Chain A
Amino acid sequence: MSDAGVIHDIGYQRYEGPRLGRSAMFGAIYQHGLRASFGLGRSAKAKIFPWLVVGIVLLVAVINAAVKAQANIILFDYFSFDDTLSWLVIFFVAIVAPELVSRDMRSGVLPLYFSRPLRAFDYIGAKFAALASAVFLLLGVPQFIMFLGGAFTTKNGASGVWNEFLDLLPGWGYSVLWALLFASISLLVASFTGKRAFAAGGIVAFFLMTAPVVGVLSILPSKTAQHLAGLANPMSLLTGVQSWLRGKTDLGLDIGDFGVIYGIELFCLVTACVLLLLARYRKVASL
């Protein structure tokens, strides 16, 4: 205790200014969460990992753009960029999702949140939006760098830039799907424990343990089993959705005519995770 027993006699001022509604509180949590995703406003230790991942991702994008400009070899397009870096995305959410939700649970700060005019939806909705934005930035910004590389070295003038941009847009769209799926799953896993290490392990385990299932299913003799194999794992699910939407068959995953199923599962998975999160925090919010 500092100055135990000293009475500090400074007049108290009542607050007469505006009081904002729940949307402003949502915004405050969102902003706080997005900053925390990259360790901003946190200790130096909290910055190491997110920025390491960001650094690698940016480096890959720059190299990709440079190689394309110099040697005209395309290492990745906007889509395969996401697929290739899936490991980094997994590690990113495994660190950031516990930072966003497990930390609040561990420190017991939630009663302070939920004794304010704030609901479970505002809290978890803002956290989800923050993490999804962070993952999108992680993928979208390097994609934009690749776009800049392509745009500045195009030989077809304005129409070349425009064509490059038309390639970038669906790439961003694909990154949005990544962001939504990874954010929803990792937040759900993290919301079950207050221990960050457990949460991180759980998230990595969820993404990696399902990968062998895809492998097993895809060597089954049944054609249908092979086509549906990708549903078992979030990464191959996204690849499946991509090949459905783009009509591509050279992505290393044969989905046959089941593209719609992939789309439906993606939608249902994200929705289910968000609803489960809401249910979970409804319970937490009532203390």
Chain B
Amino acid sequence: MTIIATQSLTKTYGGGVTALSELTVDVEAGVIGLVGANGAGKSTFIKIMLGLTAPTSGDVRVFGLDPVTETDQVRARVGYMPENDCLPPDVSAAEFVTHLGRLSGLPKTAARERASEALRHVGLYEERYRQIGGYSTGMKQRVKLAQALVHDPDLLLLDEPTNGLDPAGRDAMLNLVHRIGNEFGISVVVCSHLLGEVERICDSLIAIEGGRLLRADRISAMTAASDILAVEVSEGTDELADILVQRELTVTREGRMLLVPLTSESAYDEILRAVAELDLPLHRLDQRRHRVAELFTTKETADV
């Protein structure tokens, strides 16, 4: 099911700053990573999807609805977690999330129930009755996530959910996002400038740079074709390489290892057979998954 579709979406701010240019993308349900460096246009994209700013030109559809004209219907089905600090210090999390639930149209009692449930799902129990001012950064991020979840949206837009968290907090937050996407049945768009972080939990990935689409695809499609077998033998490396080339496999050398892309089902067996026939002492046989990051190496160097 397509949840977000854009057609040459362009947003130019006054003063000639182009935040998004000709972005055309179809997004399937699931956990979606939206990656790009700071200023790549991620936040602008989110604002357009929420109907907070209108695109300069082009077309955007969220659940088949136009955020510009059908703002209310879109926002009722979307939960938004902003990047910045957005919590009042002098109320309790329970009260705050309840209030925001009511602002999403939930009746009073339902809002209260859903608020405590949402807070429980993000891992806040007794703490929810304490004032938010006394919370740690990790707990605040959880409250921000809970308020996005309180009205049971069909889509969550998370802007840098791991900002300011320590490594353990990062993992916990990513696990939580993964769970929301896979167990709660809610699609999630996770914005991040850290590719390594989102690729772990996402089904698909949209990479943008300078407002332009770099690549949008499912993670499996990005990595499937690029599995590589690393073979290391203590002697006879050249002979093995020759044999493999004869069997129509592409071989590249990396130090003492041979890297062979697994292009066909039988490639793995072929390699093993070749090693056995030559009777070589096998040191290592290591199937590597290509990390998505390698697909963007040019981009990453450009950003440094």
Contacts and interface: CB of A to CB of B under 8 A. Distances in A.
Interface of A: 1-8, 10, 12-15, 17-22, 24-25, 28-29, 32, 41-43, 46, 103-104, 107-109, 111-118, 285-287
22 contacts: A1-B166, A4-B138, A6-B172, A7-B175, A13-B117, A15-B106, A15-B151, A20-B106, A20-B107, A21-B105, A24-B102, A24-B105, A32-B99, A43-B131, A46-B90, A108-B82, A111-B80, A111-B84, A111-B86, A112-B100, A117-B76, A117-B105
Contacts of A7: 175-176, 179
Given A7-B179, A17-B110, A107-B89, A115 B52 contact: yes
Nearest to A3: B123
Interface of B: 47, 50, 52-53, 71-73, 75-76, 78, 80, 82, 84-91, 95, 99-100, 102-107, 110, 114, 117, 120-121, 123-125, 127, 131, 136-139, 147, 151-152, 165-166, 168-169, 171-172, 175-176, 179-180, 183-185
Given A25-B102, A25-B104, A286-B53, 19 more contacts: A2-B125, A6-B123, A8-B120, A12-B121, A15-B106, A15-B110, A15-B152, A17-B107, A19-B151, A22-B72, A24-B105, A107-B85, A107-B87, A109-B88, A111-B84, A114-B52, A117-B72, A117-B105, A286-B52
Nearest to B104: A116
A117 B86 contact: no
B110 A5 contact: no
A124 B226 CA distance: 55
Given A1-B138, A20-B105, A115-B80, A28 B99 contact: yes
B162 to A, nearest CB: 12
Contacts of A20: 105-107
Contacts of B72: 22, 117
A18 B168 contact: no
A112 B147 contact: yes
Closest 6 A/B residue pairs (Cβ): A1-B138, A15-B152, A117-B72, A115-B80, A28-B102, A107-B88
A116 B123 contact: no
Nearest to B151: A15
Contacts of A42: 90-91
B121 A116 contact: no
A115 B81 CA distance: 9
Contacts of B138: 1-2, 4
Contacts of A116: 75, 100, 103-104, 151
Nearest to B79: A115
B86 A109 contact: yes
Nearest to A21: B105
B88 A287 contact: no
Contacts of A286: 52-53
Given A7-B179, A8-B121, A28-B102, A41 B95 contact: yes
Contacts of B183: 12
A137 to B, nearest CB: 22
Contacts of A19: 76, 104-106, 151
Contacts of A1: 136-139, 165-166, 168-169, 172
A43 B90 contact: yes
B90 A112 contact: no
B106 A17 contact: yes
Contacts of B107: 17-18, 20, 24
Contacts of A109: 86-88
B82 A111 contact: yes
Contacts of B147: 112
A93 B238 CA distance: 86
A14 B151 CA distance: 9
Contacts of A103: 88
A12 B168 CA distance: 24
A13 B171 CA distance: 24
A89 B114 CA distance: 39
Nearest to A43: B90
A166 B219 CA distance: 76
B50 A115 contact: yes
Nearest to A29: B103
